[in-house]
């Protein structure tokens, strides 16, 4: 029996997965999801009556300008106007916790179980060795110089365009998470060379703009979409909902090493502070920092109370301890950008520098 070789933790996890599967089966979420997908993809065809053609003798000759006839004054026909693409529609997922079941899975799947078990196993190994190491630049440069790209390391992980990505911190196994524009999150075990090494889940209704594995517990994958911040917990096989808002989220970063709190940027320019330990799905604080939009937020690697926010032409550093709903003053403002700023990040290790990416084709 293969279960006798599992640890007590893994047996408990498998029991949790079985109980969760029974719970979500009772909720009939799969049937609701299937109906939502049918509604989103089904196109209603409306029959239209064709008007009877008029007889030639009843028609009066109408004069039409060359513009209406789509003819240039010289008599050369104008090119046809290209058809506008139809707006794409994606299924809407319900609020609240969602089971960690691949979108296309029917029944039980050993390949999905193997992928989730691998994620849990390498997370346990990382949690047991969380001591910080001094960055070895020589080793890092040697690793970059030895990189090659082969066909075995290319995989279709999600259905649509990839908008965000996160890499598990494990040193033994390469586990990659990718979020696409429809709300899908794909998990890929790069070390598994078969097609069974990748699975796609649907925890969001909109574009997944930002993802991070928890630095203290990589069994948790936090993902951000326009309307929600979720935590994928592989030990319980559930995507929990942490925060939900009517305003559109843009990015987030952890304020503490234990990933219990986070600062979240909004496209309308404000920032929010979220505490995962607080019941409910609302933020602790919504602060107006004077931006017209906030594209990225990044927390200082050493002094976690500081974060840098990048907006239209604004790049400012704030102290989260002094944030309030209105009237916030930055600790420092980085000026000189003449066009829109795409992102701003502290340097790793010390955080003594900030790099910005601007639409004027310059890095600062």
Per-domain boundaries in the chain = 2-29, 99-127+156-244, 251-364
Residue carrying structure tokens 């290319």:
154
pLDDT at 207 over 60: yes
99-127+156-244 and 251-364, same CATH topology: yes
Q: What is the pLDDT of residues 302-329, one digit of tens each?
A: 999 999 999 888 899 999 999 999 999 9
- pLDDT tens string 130-187: 555 666 778 878 888 888 888 878 889 999 999 999 999 998 999 999 999 999 999 9
Q: Residue 119's pLDDT band (boundaries 50, 70, 90)?
A: very high
The superfamily CATH assigns to domain 99-127+156-244 is YVTN repeat-like/Quinoprotein amine dehydrogenase (2.130.10.10)
pLDDT digits (tens, 9 = 90+) for 229-245: 999 999 999 999 999 98
pLDDT beyond 90 at 111: no
CATH topology of domain 251-364: Methylamine Dehydrogenase; Chain H (2.130.10)
- DSSP, collapsed to helix, strand or coil, labels residue 99 as strand
pLDDT, mean over the chain: 83
By CB atoms closer than 10 A (0-12, 13-18, 19+), residue 349 is: exposed
What pLDDT was estimated at residue 47?
A: 46
Half-sphere exposure of 37 (CA within 13 A, CB side): 10
Greater pLDDT, 294 or 23: 294
Stretch 201-207: mean pLDDT: 93
Q: How far apart are CA 29 and CA 91, in angstroms?
A: 13
What is the predicted pLDDT for the residue at 328?
94
Pair of tokens at residue 340: 């829109």
In angstroms, the CA 314 to CA 334 distance is 7
- What is the percentage of the chain residues whose pLDDT exceeds 70? 78
Confidence of residue 45 (pLDDT cuts 50, 70, 90): very low
DSSP letters along 43-66, please?
A: ------PPPPPPPTTTPPP----T
Q: Is residue 7 pLDDT above 70, yes or no?
A: yes
What pLDDT is stored for residue 297 in this prediction?
95
- Of 267, 214, 266, 276, the C-alpha closest to 242 is 276
Q: Which is higher by pLDDT, 194 or 332?
A: 332
22 has a pLDDT exceeding 70: yes
Q: CA-based Rg of the chain, rounded to a whole angstrom?
A: 26
Mean pLDDT of 24-37: 69
Residue-wise pLDDT tens digits, 50-108: 555 565 555 555 666 666 666 666 655 655 655 555 556 677 888 899 999 888 776 66
CB burial readout 117-135, b (16+ within 10 A) else e: bbbbbbbeebeeeeeeeee
Helix-helix angle 8-27:110-128, to 10 degrees? 130
Q: Which pLDDT score is estimated for 68?
A: 63
């Amino acid at each position: 029996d293969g279960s006798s070789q599992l640890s007590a933790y893994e047996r408990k996890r498998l029991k949790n997965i079985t109980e969760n599967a029974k719970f979500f089966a009772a909720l009939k979420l799969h049937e609701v999801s299937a109906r939502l997908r049918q509604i989103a993809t089904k196109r209603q065809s409306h029959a239209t009556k064709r008007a009877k053609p008029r007889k030639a003798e009843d028609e009066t000759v109408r004069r039409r300008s060359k513009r209406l006839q789509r003819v240039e004054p010289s008599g050369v026909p104008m090119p046809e106007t290209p058809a506008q693409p139809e707006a794409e529609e994606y299924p809407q997922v319900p609020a609240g916790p969602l089971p960690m079941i691949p979108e296309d899975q029917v029944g039980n799947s050993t390949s999905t179980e193997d992928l989730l078990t691998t994620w849990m196993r390498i997370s346990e190994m990382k949690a047991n060795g969380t001591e910080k190491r001094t960055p070895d630049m020589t080793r890092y440069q040697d690793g970059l110089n030895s990189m090659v790209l082969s066909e075995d390391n290319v995989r279709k992980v999600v259905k649509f365009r990839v908008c965000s990505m996160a890499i598990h911190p494990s040193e033994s196994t390469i586990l990659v998470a990718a979020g696409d524009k429809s709300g899908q999150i794909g998990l890929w075990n790069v070390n598994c060379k078969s097609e069974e090494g990748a699975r796609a889940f649907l925890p969001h209704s909109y574009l997944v703009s930002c993802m991070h594995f928890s630095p203290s517990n990589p069994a948790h994958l936090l993902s951000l979409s326009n309307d929600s911040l979720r935590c994928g917990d592989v030990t319980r096989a559930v995507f929990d909902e942490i925060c939900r808002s009517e305003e559109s989220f843009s990015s987030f970063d952890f304020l503490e090493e234990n990933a219990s709190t986070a600062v979240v940027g909004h496209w309308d320019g404000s920032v929010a502070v979220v505490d995962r330990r607080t019941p409910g799905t609302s933020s602790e604080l919504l602060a107006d920092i004077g931006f017209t939009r906030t594209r990225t937020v990044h927390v200082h690697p050493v002094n976690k109370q500081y974060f840098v926010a990048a907006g239209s032409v604004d790049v400012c550093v704030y102290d989260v301890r002094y944030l309030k709903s209105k009237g916030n003053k930055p600790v420092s403002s980085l000026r000189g950008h003449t066009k829109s700023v795409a992102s701003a990040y502290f340097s790793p290790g010390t955080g003594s520098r900030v790099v910005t990416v601007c639409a004027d084709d310059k890095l600062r």
